[in-house]
Amino acid sequence: MKPVFVLLVSAAWTLTGAQHYYQGLMDYLDNRLLAIEDRMHLWHDQSHRYHTELLDFKKLTDEAVVGLRNQHSAMSKDLEDAALRVDRVEHNVDYAETQTSPRACANQADRVVEQGPWRLEESRGEEEEGDDWVELHSQVSDCVEIISGIRSVKILKRVGGPRGMWTRDPKSSKVYVLNGTSGGDVFQFDSVRDFSRSPGVAGGRQIRLPSDWRGPGGAVYDGHLYYVQQGGGGAAAADDVQVVRYDLRGGSVTDVAMLPAEGRAAVYGLNPETVADLAADGEGLWLLYAAGDGEPHIHLARMDLASLDIEQTWDTRCPRENAEAAFVACGTVYVVYNTRLASRSRVQCLFDVNDLVGSEEAPLIYFPRRYGAHASLKYNPEEEQLYAWDDGYQIIYRLNMKRKLRV
């Protein structure tokens, strides 16, 4: 019996130890589960708080965005109002300038260098010779219109450098571009529309000239390019300035003429690259130039379109100082002036080769303020438009014309 009792006691102790072990294990697991539940509750509380804060932040963000949109709309409206006010002020300034500024100077054709269309009355005595020059009835130009103002402005595009020239052949629809202040190429476009759609100057037909052109003072008429070159090679000196007539269809130079000037002074004080400026129309080829380095005035010459022979020259009495560009329309020279710090361009000096425009009729024309200063202005007599190059922008000015009073 004793061994059996010992065995029963040992089994009882074993069962009691196992029970305590499993009870401890269950307590441990229960505590771990409680800790996990506590952490899950804490995470849930924090997640709920973060979600609430995120919703509050989103609400604040939406309110801020709405406020910014309202402020943007208000600022846009203010900017539109300011633009309208600026346009109104600019219009008022234009009107005030035309009303209060001194009238443009109209220099008459009695200061002719070569007295071709003038003669001395033979019936007068020699003692009255200095006061008895009379004008013949023949006119240098048959056109009888003068520019009265700018009708509209069209900014076509911006291509090329800040200085250059573009123009349309009055006898065709083709457009020609000289980019920069010198070069050996001219670019041809079939029309103004083709030029406006081109990605750049190189989008047109590139024509390589036999010599480099100097300054944006070229002209195109009836399939011929007239341009200024300096130091044409051969026997020509490096400082000699020449006018070249180039056949754009045939691809050859048809004539060359020396510039009737001494030295290489710029014709416009604000554009030193323009040694001479050419304008061609059905009445002839007009050349604006400086007679010498010390000559303060702009000179005018009329040249034959085919032979480049100089037919007549004038001293316009229009100052070179502060002049930025000029153009010729109907035998009248319009000189455009500006300031060193580019401001509002204005026509402030006129010269009529036929002496049909008096100072009381000379219009004081202000160009709308755009980007800088004109590098070139080319008049098209068929369209009565100006093709302008302004700080790399190509601009078209449509003009109003009226008959000269003395016609």
Residue 235 in this model has a pLDDT that exceeds 60 = no
Average pLDDT over residues 20-47: 85
Of 100, 135, 158, at which residue does a domain stop? 100
Burial 199-229, CB ≥16 within 10 A → b, else e: eebeebeeeebebebbbbbbbbbeebbbbbb
Bridge partners (DSSP) listed for residue 271: 268
Residue 119 in this model has a pLDDT that exceeds 50 = no
pLDDT computed for residue 121 by the predictor: 34
Question: 168 and 90, same structural domain?
Answer: no
8 Å CB contact between 334 and 350? yes
Question: 144 and 181, same structural domain?
Answer: yes
How much of the chain exceeds pLDDT 70, in percent? 81
Residue 16 is assigned to a structural domain of this protein:
no
Long-range contacts of 92-98 (CB under 8 A, 24+ apart): 94/366, 94/368, 97/344, 97/346, 97/364, 97/366, 98/364, 98/366
pLDDT computed for residue 120 by the predictor: 31
Interacting residues of 326 by C-beta distance below 8 A, sequence separation 6+: 267, 268, 277, 288, 298, 318, 333, 334, 335, 336, 377
Question: 249 and 157, same structural domain?
Answer: yes
Of 100, 131, 146, at which residue does a domain stop? 100
Q: Token pair for residue 266?
A: 């710029």
Q: What is the mean pLDDT of the chain?
A: 83
Residue 377 is assigned to a structural domain of this protein:
yes
Give residue-wise pLDDT tens across range 56-70.
Answer: 899 889 989 998 999
Residue 217 in this model has a pLDDT that exceeds 90 = yes
pLDDT computed for residue 6 by the predictor: 62
Question: 68 and 133, same structural domain?
Answer: no
What would the 3-class secondary structure string for 49-94 be? Answer: HHHHHHHHHHHHHHHHHHHHHHHHHHHHHHHHHHHHHHHHHHHHHH
CA 347 distance to own-chain centroid? 18
Residue 25 is assigned to a structural domain of this protein:
no
Average pLDDT over residues 32-49: 88
Average pLDDT over residues 269-285: 91
13 vs 306, more confident: 306
pLDDT computed for residue 136 by the predictor: 39
pLDDT computed for residue 247 by the predictor: 96
pLDDT computed for residue 37 by the predictor: 87
pLDDT computed for residue 349 by the predictor: 93
What would the 3-class secondary structure string for 101-153 be? Answer: CCCCEEECCCCECCCCCEEECCCCCHHHHHHCEEECCCCCCCCCEEEEEEEEE
Of 52, 73, 100, at which residue does a domain stop? 100
Question: 244 and 166, same structural domain?
Answer: yes
Number of domains within the chain: 2
Average pLDDT over residues 239-249: 90
Question: 120 and 76, same structural domain?
Answer: no
Range of the domain at 67: 34-100
Split at pLDDT 50, 70, 90, the class of 87 is low
Residue 29 is assigned to a structural domain of this protein:
no
Q: Token pair for residue 223?
A: 């399939």
Question: 224 and 79, same structural domain?
Answer: no
Q: How far apart are CA 324 and CA 340, in angstroms?
A: 10
Residue 394 is assigned to a structural domain of this protein:
yes
Question: 260 and 377, same structural domain?
Answer: yes
Nearest to 164 by CA among 206, 199, 211, 213: 213
Question: 151 and 67, same structural domain?
Answer: no
Split at pLDDT 50, 70, 90, the class of 263 is low
Average pLDDT over residues 194-200: 90
pLDDT computed for residue 332 by the predictor: 93
Residue 124 in this model has a pLDDT that exceeds 80 = no
Question: 147 and 262, same structural domain?
Answer: yes
Give residue-wise pLDDT tens across range 131-185.
Answer: 443 333 456 777 888 999 999 999 999 988 899 999 999 999 999 999 999 999 9
Question: 302 and 171, same structural domain?
Answer: yes
Q: What is the SS3 assignment for 286? A: strand
Residue 11 is assigned to a structural domain of this protein:
no
Residue 23 is assigned to a structural domain of this protein:
no
CATH number (domain holding residue 190): 2.40.128.630
Give residue-wise pLDDT tens across range 330-372.
Answer: 999 999 998 888 778 999 999 999 888 876 778 888 898 777 8
Question: 139 and 88, same structural domain?
Answer: no
Residue 21 in this model has a pLDDT that exceeds 80 = no
Q: How far apart are CA 348 and CA 325, in angstroms?
A: 11
> How many C-beta neighbours within 10 Å does residue 15 have?
10
Q: How far apart are CA 402 and CA 152, in angstroms?
A: 16
pLDDT computed for residue 9 by the predictor: 62
pLDDT computed for residue 201 by the predictor: 81
CA 142 distance to own-chain centroid? 33
Interacting residues of 340 by C-beta distance below 8 A, sequence separation 6+: 270, 322
Residue 276 is assigned to a structural domain of this protein:
yes
CA atoms within 13 A of residue 264's CA, in its CB half-sphere: 15
The helix (run of H) or strand (run of E) holding residue 41 is helix 2-100
CA 72 distance to own-chain centroid? 31
Residue 129 in this model has a pLDDT that exceeds 80 = no
